[in-house]
Amino acid sequence: MKNFSAYLKIVQGILFLAPSMLSCSRKQDERPNLLIVFPDQFRGEALGFLGHEPAITPRIDAFASESLVLTNAVSNYPLSSPFRAMLLTGKYPVANGVISNCTSQTGKFNVNLQENDTTWSDILKSEGYSLGYIGKWHLESPYEPFIDCSNNKGAVAWNEWTPPERRHGFSFWYAYNTYDQHNRPMYWNTTAARQGFKYVDQWGPEHEADMAIRFINNENGEYREKGKPWALVVSMNPPHMPYDRVPEKYIRMYDTVPDERMFSFPNIPPPDSTWGIYYRKHARNQYAQITGVDENFGRIVEALREAGADKNTIVIFTSDHGDCLGRHNEISKNNHWEESMVIPLIIRWPGHIKPSEDDLLLSVPDIYPSLLSLMGMKEKIPSGVQGEDYSEIFLTGKGSRPSSQLYIWMPYDDSSAGRRGVRTDSYTLMIDKSAAGDGKYFLYDNAKDSYQLKNIAADDPETLSLLKAELRKWLDNTNDKWEE
């Protein structure tokens, strides 16, 4: 983070000499807009300004220099649907029912975003906000007869239409559930019936940025109600596989990155191994997708500025989880490794949130109450929300902080099974209930072993015991019946 810290001091001196003056110029009753942009499967370390990975992200880098950068935010259950349900409900999976990805297989166990859960979008709607959702939803389990599309051709169907009554306040709708043809995506618009989807011959993030810009500009009041504050979510699919579905111009940007830089991480398997070959085959294309997301995120942020809405809009850039891409011999996510759990979480609100970095151990459900509190609706937070309100830390850097974050994986047919763990500022513990004997404990000293190469569970029984006690607190507080 040294490079970012130096950069930040320069930018702060230029842009934030008198942040209070910005605050004073605002009307007391002016409510902020909200923009959340989150691509799928974007590692928290894959950002150029961090200086760790060879990612080319100039627009996110510039955005980060004006924002609060949370360097220790995690996806507690690093899988698409569980993240999205935690984000919207402020509850952990046992409480919100989304204990796995929403598919035709899990739908038999009612793995869906529940219609009776009160999401933050429901609250904003009730408070007079005009809401829009663009892109990947992935909170609806498909049912027969399945929609005729490529993601529904196999033994398990993934894509489905979401009826209006299950959209939780999002009155402008331009979305799908799961569809991975990035170069020719499909969407249902607000009024489309189940068979009324359309295909678009344009790269997904570019097209979704186009739609977001139209929503922001709102020509002729076509996309949202004029005169009302608004909230918009843009959920891009890349850098999700298939990694070769990306415009050539982004791929060419990585032609000059040498192999020794591209493949330098010690947790990448050897080049002649299955997962080593996989990583080397896909890494450049994945980075190309990241750069494409960066460019189109930048277009949306620039549209805000051009519309004069940037000063009164809270903008969040994050992701539903990361991706191992073969590191640790793991194909993607849904595991306890740093590459999967750590996500980007960057928040900008000019004149209110000072540009800085913070190592707050933020969990996904914390976003809901923190956001509503920032937006002046603290009293509207439902009692069933399990996340913590860290808005004061966002604004001042001061306040009570958590000592750990929960890690979760559970089978879709039994929420009391699977794996659990905790992550602190120094350690990660994962307990695999299905493993036998000592082989079920995985403990890593992330401060000394940042690539998590050595399992020290057998070597450090004291830390193991302390973290198991920390895990027990999490399980009790989230009503999780999992037992070691």
- Looking at the chain, the domain(s) classified CATH 3.40.720.10 span 2-21+31-397
Spatial distance between the Cα atoms of 457 and 189, rounded to a whole number of angstroms = 51
Residues 49, 6: contact at Cβ < 8 Å?
no
Sign of the alpha-carbon dihedral angle for 453, 457, 461, 463: positive
The pLDDT assigned to 283 comes to: 98
* Predicted TM-score of the model (pTM): 0.94
User: Class for domain 416-477, per CATH?
Assistant: alpha beta
Residues of CATH 3.30.1120.10 domain(s) within the chain?
Answer: 416-477
Torsion sign across C-alpha atoms 45, 50, 52, 57: positive
pLDDT value at 242 more than 50: yes
Q: Where would I find the beta strands (DSSP E) of 17-85?
A: 33-37, 68-70
pLDDT, tens digit, for every residue of 303-353? 999 999 999 999 999 999 999 999 999 999 999 999 999 999 999 999 999
- Determine the pLDDT at residue 5: 54
The answer to whether the beta carbons of residues 427 and 446 sit under 8 Å apart is yes
C-alpha–C-alpha distance, residues 159 and 153, integer Å = 10
Q: For the chain, what is the total number of helices (H) and then of strands (E)?
A: 14, 14
Query: In sequence order, what are the residues at sequence separation of 6 or more whose Cβ sits closer than 8 angstroms to the Cβ of residue 90?
Result: 120, 365, 366, 367, 368, 369, 381, 382, 385, 386, 387
How high is the pLDDT of residue 436?
76
| Partners of 37 in the β-ladder | 234, 317
The DSSP code sequence of 119-185 is -HHHHHHHTT-EEEEEEE-------SSPPSSGGGSSSS-------GGGSTT--EEEEESS---TTS-
In this predicted model, what pLDDT tens digit does every residue of 149-168 receive, in sequence order? 999 999 999 999 999 999 99
**The pLDDT value given to residue 135:** 98
Average of pLDDT values for 93-122? Answer: 97
Give me the CATH code for the 2-21+31-397 domain, please. Answer: 3.40.720.10
Mean pLDDT of 467-473: 98
Q: What is the pLDDT of residues 8-67, one digit of tens each?
A: 544 444 444 333 333 333 343 489 999 999 999 999 999 999 999 999 999 999 999 999
Sign of CA dihedral 106, 107, 113, 117: negative
Calculate the dihedral angle through the C-alpha atoms of 133, 134, 135, 138, rounding to the nearest 10 degrees: 10
* CA separation for the pair 346, 315 (Å, rounded): 8
Report pLDDT for 2. Answer: 45
pLDDT tens for residues 445-466?
999 999 999 999 999 999 999 9
Location of structure tokens 């989880």: 321
pLDDT grade for 275, boundaries at 50, 70 and 90: very high
Mean pLDDT on 199-215: 98
Distance CA 283, CA 128 (A): 44
Q: How confident is the model at residue 6 (pLDDT cuts 50, 70, 90)?
A: low
pLDDT at position 438 is 72
Q: Check residue 4 and give its pLDDT.
A: 52
pLDDT digits (tens, 9 = 90+) for 348-373: 999 999 999 999 999 999 999 999 99
pLDDT at 246: 98
Calculate the average pLDDT of the chain.
Answer: 94
Angle of the 367-374 helix axis to the 80-89 helix axis, nearest 10: 40
CA separation for the pair 404, 201 (Å, rounded): 44
What is the CA 469 to chain-centroid distance, rounded? 28
Please name every residue paired with 441 in a beta bridge, in sequence order, or none if there are none: 431
**Which residues in 212-246 are b (16+ Cβ under 10 Å) and which e?**
bbbbbebeeeebbeeeebbbbbbbbbbbbbebebb
